[in-house]
Amino acid sequence: MLSKGKIKLVQSLSRKKERDESSLFVAEGNKIVSDLFPLFRCKLLLATSDFLASHSDWQAEEIVEVSRDEMERASLMCCPQSALAVFYKRDYTLQKDLLPSRLSLMLDAVQDPGNLGTIIRIADWFGIKDILCSENTVDLYNPKVVQSTMGALGRVDVHYGDLNSLLDEMKGRISVFGTFLEGENIYERELPSCGIIVMGNEGNGISSELSKRVTDRLYIPSFQTGEGCSESLNVAVATAITCSEFRRRRVGL
């Protein structure tokens, strides 16, 4: 039997304020819950009897078997699945001294939860350990971000903070790459194995303040022909192409 208090807890975690205060977040769906279970401490697992039967070894502070109806009442999704978990957030500590010897991503006010989730998945794929986000980037623990990471959450450290100060502090010790509408053709220039790749807001790109701190301006050329053209690539797509370009130079042509 699922109490009203638990439904209320889950529902409250759709809001950032409540996630911040409680240090909790929600993940839904059999695959994502399964992927996150080894990585985050679980406060509450709501699951159907079928799901629990096949995951009987799982440890959580509380496990409640729920009916489909109860799951629908608790769920933040339109199509609830067999498992919903409330996990404790993790605290990520940024080790600034490691940044110069790694490739990292920096996100300036990325707003769309699906984009952040996809970017986390891209970072995981390309072996990027740290994502540095401006304070006004969408919250990592937004339920839609969690869903779209497809389990990559927890394998990439996502930090929030003042990006301008961070880059000022790192000045001279690290290359800062940004993609713009003009710059050096990303396909044609050498790219190092370490540095920071800055990606900007969906509508406005990289802020002017942060742009000043970019040391290497790149652009992804378009191959459009004919009249009219897409003005830009989706930020997650641009991130994928940029990461691919940095990484392929370690193996390929």
Binding site for a second copy (CB under 8 A): 38-39, 114, 118, 121-122, 124-127, 150-152, 155, 185, 187-188, 220-226, 228-230, 233-234, 236-237, 240-241, 244-245, 247-248, 250-253
Distances (CA, A) of 158 to 22, 44, 111: 18, 23, 15
User: Residue 242 in 3-state DSSP?
Assistant: helix
Q: Which residues pair with 161 in a beta bridge?
A: 134
CB of 151 to a second copy, least distance (A): 7
> Considering beta carbons, is residue 63 or 217 the nearer one to a second copy?
217
CB of 113 to a second copy, least distance (A): 12
> Considering beta carbons, is residue 80 or 151 the nearer one to a second copy?
151
> Considering beta carbons, is residue 165 or 230 the nearer one to a second copy?
230
Cα–Cα distance for residue pair 56/53, rounded to 1 Å: 6
CB of 4 to a second copy, least distance (A): 27
Cα–Cα distance for residue pair 35/140, rounded to 1 Å: 16
**Long-range Cβ contacts of 90-94 (<8 Å, 24+ apart):** 90/40, 90/154, 92/157, 92/158, 92/159, 94/130, 94/132, 94/157, 94/159, 94/161
Token pair 């996809």: residue? 118
CB of 150 to a second copy, least distance (A): 7
> Considering beta carbons, is residue 125 or 180 the nearer one to a second copy?
125
CB of 127 to a second copy, least distance (A): 4
In the numeric block, which tokens belong to residue 142?
């937004």
Task: Spell out where the chain has E strands.
Answer: 24-28, 42-47, 62-65, 83-88, 103-107, 130-134, 157-161, 176-185, 195-199, 216-219
> Considering beta carbons, is residue 44 or 104 the nearer one to a second copy?
104
CB of 61 to a second copy, least distance (A): 23
Q: Which residues pair with 83 in a beta bridge?
A: 47
> Considering beta carbons, is residue 8 or 189 the nearer one to a second copy?
189
Structural contact between residues 100 and 187, judged by C-beta atoms closer than 8 angstroms: no
